[in-house]
Structure formats: C-alpha cells, structure tokens
C-alpha cells in the first residue's frame, strides 16, 4: 500500500501516517519508523501487516540513507498482543492452506528480523506477546517503559510458544523459560531486563528524543545507554530457586507434582501455579515442554522450522479451535480439551506433532543467503 509523500523535519521525503492504516511506515532523516496502528485489536498482527513488514525490511536494508529502524505502537494498552488468532481460526476451518501460509509467513518474518543488517530499536511500553515477541526479540535493541509486560500465553488456547520463542526460553536461567512457556504468566520489565529479554529500560517521555537523534544518525548504543535506568529487582527474584526446582523436571506431570509439594512461604504461590497449569491444554503443555527442552540444542532457524511443523499439525487438531472459542469468542473460560488430562496424552501423540513434514517442511534461507540478498 502506497503512502502520500511528506517532508520530514530533517528535509528528507517521508511516507505520512494515514490513521486508517494498520501499519504505518515513514522515513525521518536516516531513520525508518514503523508504527503498529491497530489499537482496537491491541495491534494483533494480521496478514496485511505481516506482508507490509516483510516487504519493508529488505528496502530499508538496501537504502543507503536508512541508518536504523524503530518499531513502535500507537496503542497505549499494548505494543502487540500477538497474531490475529481469529483470522487464523477462520482460515483453519475454511481455508487450511491459507492458515498454513500465515504461520509460514510469520516465521519467515521472524527470521528476517534476526538476519536484518541494520540496528532495529523496539520502543515498547505495554504488553508484548506472541507475534509481538517475534518482531522485537531478534532486533538489536529492545527498550521498555514501565508498562512493559512479556508473555507467551499460547497453552491457554491450545497452541504453543512459537515465533522461535522456545529458542530463547530454553536458554533462560533457572528453568524460568519453562515456567514462562508452560504457564503463560506475564513478567514486567525488571524481570525481562534481568533475563536479557530487554536491552534497556527508559522513560517513554524520552522516546521522541531518541527517534529524533537516531534520525540524525547518533550512535545507537551510546544514545540508549545514556538514558537507561536500572529497573531494580524483579518479582521472580525471590522465587528462582523454587522455579528451578519445579520446572527442571523431566515431565509436565512431575512439574505439577513438585509444585503441589512446595513447602513454606512459596507454597501458596506454587499451588496457584499448579492449578493454573491444570487449566491449560494438556497436549499443548506436553508439546511445549518437549519443544523448550529440545530447542536448547537447536539454532533459531531450526527452531522456526520446527514451529511450522507443530503449527501445521495444530491446525489439523481440535484444541486450538476450542481454546480460541473458550477464551476469545464465547469467553466462557471452559475449554473442552481433547485429551482432557495430562496422563491421557501419550508419547506417541506428541511424537506425531514433531515428526517431519517431508517435502512441505518450512524452507528458510540460510543466514548467508539472507546476507547475500542484502536483507
């Protein structure tokens, strides 16, 4: 979609933001600014937004006038609440190939962000989940305001943490990645910064000045380092030992058993976590547990290929549709999972999800091929 042309403060031409567009792209001097502008849907990424992002980044990479890219949100509530699952559900029922392509395009976009050759600064002051994680986590700089919240809540809707997130979750200390992946619990910027999910914590009042100076090609690291303020201890700091003890278990059933046996001051918290896990899709929990454990030995590109394999089979199943119905459509909070209990999810069921798709596996270019294409 074309934008009208306007003049930026630095004198270069820029594409203006038409308020009706869901993804805005403009150039300010040496800076490209991407704005997620779908506030009613909490900036959930849809097909058109993904396509526009995928087309924009190679152009930025090849444009010698562009020094860096900023991605930001026009919503006060959320940076990006994930992918448009209503869209996916509709296609999953009526146009399965289009739904598969949506997942493939999503993971290709995540890989594009990882391989992008210029600094990318995400300015985040709100919730970032699912697809929002995919378009920020692999950029060079992730800057958070005080309203930042990170979550991968997919097991609540019969899905699994995708967008390559298990690659990162598997590398977090003290089994915190397993905790986040299975429970979908949100963490704030102090915990996220301590875990390396963020690079800087900066007052959002400074975001406009940051953009103005990036437009004038100020060094990114120096610019952000000077404004960073340590967020202090996170909420998880006092529970790391309990999380490590429980979530390092070899099965989901053992994780739940360990949580239910936690004594002392963490007992009430652990009981609540165990109860919450039991409300989530049993098959999704076991897929997620295996995915995170095995992602520790995989590269990001391999993880994204595996994500597509799993997503392809999720579309063939029942739980994703049922989870979205219960959480987002009817909102009764009573999903009817199949299987309904952890102990009824067999190893064979899980193995089937992880088995190769053969000739229809996701085919992502190598990093070297991406670099040769000047992405």
Mean pLDDT per 10-residue segment, the chain (375 residues): 28 41 97 97 97 97 97 95 95 96 98 97 98 98 98 98 98 98 98 98 98 97 98 96 98 98 97 98 98 98 98 98 96 97 98 98 97 88
State the pLDDT at residue 19: 46
In a domain, 104, yes or no: yes
In a domain, 372, yes or no: no
In a domain, 331, yes or no: yes
| 122 contacts 141 by C-beta, under 8 angstroms | yes
State the pLDDT at residue 190: 98
Identify how many contiguous H helices and E strands the chain contains and give both numbers.
17, 12
In a domain, 183, yes or no: yes
In a domain, 1, yes or no: no
Which two structure tokens, joined as six digits, stand for 31? 């800076």
Domain that includes residue 34, residue range: 6-364
| 275 contacts 334 by C-beta, under 8 angstroms | no
State the pLDDT at residue 375: 85
**String of DSSP letters for 296-325:** TTS-HHHHHHHHHHHHHHHHHSSHHHHHHI
State the pLDDT at residue 4: 28
Q: Tell me how many degrees the CA angle 189-192-197 measures, rounded to the nearest 5.
A: 125
In a domain, 370, yes or no: no
State the pLDDT at residue 374: 85
State the pLDDT at residue 13: 31
In a domain, 343, yes or no: yes
State the pLDDT at residue 106: 98
Question: What's 143's domain CATH number?
Answer: 3.90.226.10
State the pLDDT at residue 9: 29
Q: How many domains does the chain have?
A: 1
In a domain, 242, yes or no: yes
């Amino acid at each position: 979609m074309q934008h009208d042309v306007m003049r930026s403060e630095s004198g270069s031409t820029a594409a203006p933001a038409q308020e009706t567009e869901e993804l805005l792209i403009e150039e300010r001097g040496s800076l490209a600014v991407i704005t997620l502008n779908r506030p009613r849907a909490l900036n959930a990424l849809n097909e058109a937004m993904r396509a526009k992002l995928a087309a924009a980044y190679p152009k930025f990479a090849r444009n010698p006038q562009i020094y860096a890219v900023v991605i930001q949100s026009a919503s006060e509530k959320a940076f990006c609440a994930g992918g448009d699952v209503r869209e996916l559900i509709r296609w999953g029922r009526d146009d399965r190939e289009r739904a598969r392509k949506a997942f493939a395009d999503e993971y290709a976009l995540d890989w594009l962000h990882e391989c992008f050759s210029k600094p990318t600064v995400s300015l985040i002051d709100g919730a970032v989940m699912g697809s929002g994680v995919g378009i920020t986590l692999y950029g060079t700089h992730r800057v958070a305001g005080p309203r930042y919240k990170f979550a991968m809540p997919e097991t609540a809707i019969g899905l699994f943490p995708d967008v390559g997130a298990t690659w990162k979750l598997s590398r977090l200390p003290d089994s915190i990645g397993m905790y986040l992946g299975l429970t979908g619990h949100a963490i704030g910027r102090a915990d996220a910064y301590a875990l390396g999910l963020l690079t800087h914590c900066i007052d959002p009042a400074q975001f406009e000045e940051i953009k103005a100076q990036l437009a004038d090609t100020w060094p990114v690291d120096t610019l952000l380092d000077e404004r960073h303020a340590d967020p202090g201890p996170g909420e998880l700091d006092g529970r790391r030992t309990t999380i490590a003890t429980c979530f390092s278990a070899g099965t989901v059933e053992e994780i739940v058993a360990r949580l239910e046996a936690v004594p002392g001051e963490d007992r009430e918290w652990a009981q609540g976590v165990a109860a919450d896990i039991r409300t989530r899709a049993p098959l999704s929990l076991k897929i997620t547990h295996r995915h995170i454990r095995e992602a520790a030995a995989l590269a990001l590109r391999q993880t994204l290929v595996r994500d597509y394999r799993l997503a392809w089979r999720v579309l063939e199943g029942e739980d994703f549709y049922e989870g979205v119905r219960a959480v987002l459509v009817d909102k009764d909070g009573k999903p009817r999972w199949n299987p309904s209990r952890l102990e009824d999810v067999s190893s064979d069921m899980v193995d089937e999800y992880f088995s190769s798709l053969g000739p229809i596996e996701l085919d992502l270019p190598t990093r070297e091929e991406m670099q040769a294409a000047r992405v």
